[in-house]
Amino acid sequence: MKEEQIRPQDIYNEYLSLAEKDAHTFFSEAELTCGSCPACESDGVFAFSKNGFSYETCPNCLSLFVNPRPSAKSFLKYYTESDSAEFWATTFYKETAEARREKLWRPKAKIILEKLNLYLDKNYEMVDIGGGLGIFAEEIKKLTNKAPVIIEPGPKLAEACQNKSLVVIQKFLEEVEVRELPEGPKVFVSFELFEHLHDPAMFLVHLNRLMGSGDLFIFTTLSGLGLDIQVLWENAKAVTPPHHLNFLNPYAIAILLGRLGFDCIEVTTPGQLDIDILSNNLEKVTDHYWQTFVKTASEDEKVEWQKMIAKSGRSSHMMVVCSKP
Ligand SMILES: [Zn+2]
């Protein structure tokens, strides 16, 4: 898979330029609160500033995170009223929907079902937190004849799911009550949501409240120890406020889940794009080794390296399987 197939650079760059403007419009006067590492609660050390936001790294678990943080209220306003959030939910999603279905969601549905075969030996209901346009849900339905229930607060996205006859709870996770969810054993999933969360620990506390003993939570997010993020650092397009605030990593995730009472079953980094992202941002790669690698390696060599990076837990795309004991 190539980045261009799921994130065409011209549309992605337009989104990033809108996000940069919105970072100033929505947050320049927002009240800031200082916090600690979202994974292990250690005090962070300043790393860099970007679009008016400060990022820190955690000396203990190596997470990268925005600190101090504007209030949750200012993020809500940003996600409901900003041009970049609107562009992402409409133009970006619509123009890339079918490519993302084929390259991203269909393989993801298969991987999730493989994990469930491995870790769950009973019937279950699936709940997709932040289900977007419902494409993952459709792909799961094709494979299992049963669609996940979707939790999606965005009015336009929730409507798109309803138009596909999917069951949608149009709320933020923290507003959902146990009685609104299907009965019996459940598997909660969420994709590319965790890095956006204003308070990841609070999100997990709310989720834990909705889970029964033995229920699973499978999610994907960005690892700050992933190759492209480490090499590009503050110039990485993924490291862009206000949308991406938390970059944990396999070690940090295990710490966070442990302290909130989850069993961390498996953390992998099945990413396919790290080296392609470096190739697409070659002018920003300052490390001599990686510059030379990207310029001179053959396609086959790049594929082999990417496989090794993913296998060794060093890709920036991370998948986590955990359960409530
Ligand atoms: Zn930490």
Distance 39 CA to ligand 1 centre (A): 5
Distance 208 CA to ligand 1 centre (A): 21
Distance 64 CA to ligand 1 centre (A): 8
Contact predicate 15/84, CB 8 Å: yes
Residue 294 in tokens:
């990207």
Beta bridge partners of 187: 126, 216
Distance 7 CA to ligand 1 centre (A): 30
Q: Which residues keep their CB under 5 angstroms from ion ligand 1?
A: 37, 39-40, 42, 58, 60-61, 63
Tens-digit pLDDT string for the chain (325 aa): 899 989 998 999 999 999 999 999 999 999 999 999 999 999 999 999 999 999 999 999 999 999 999 999 999 999 889 999 889 888 888 888 889 999 999 999 999 999 999 999 889 999 999 999 999 999 999 999 999 999 999 888 899 999 999 999 999 999 999 999 999 999 999 999 999 999 999 999 999 999 999 999 999 999 999 999 999 999 999 999 999 999 999 999 999 999 999 999 999 999 999 999 999 999 999 999 999 999 999 999 999 999 999 999 999 999 999 999 9
Distance 255 CA to ligand 1 centre (A): 8
Distance 304 CA to ligand 1 centre (A): 31
Helix pair 200-210, 250-259: axis angle to 10 deg: 50
Helix-, strand-, coil-residue percentages of the chain, each rounded to 5: 50, 20, 35
Residue 127 in tokens:
């709940």
Distance 200 CA to ligand 1 centre (A): 13
From CA 4, how far away is CA 118, in angstroms rounded? 32
Distance 216 CA to ligand 1 centre (A): 24
pTM, two decimals, is 0.96
Residue 28 in tokens:
């320049």
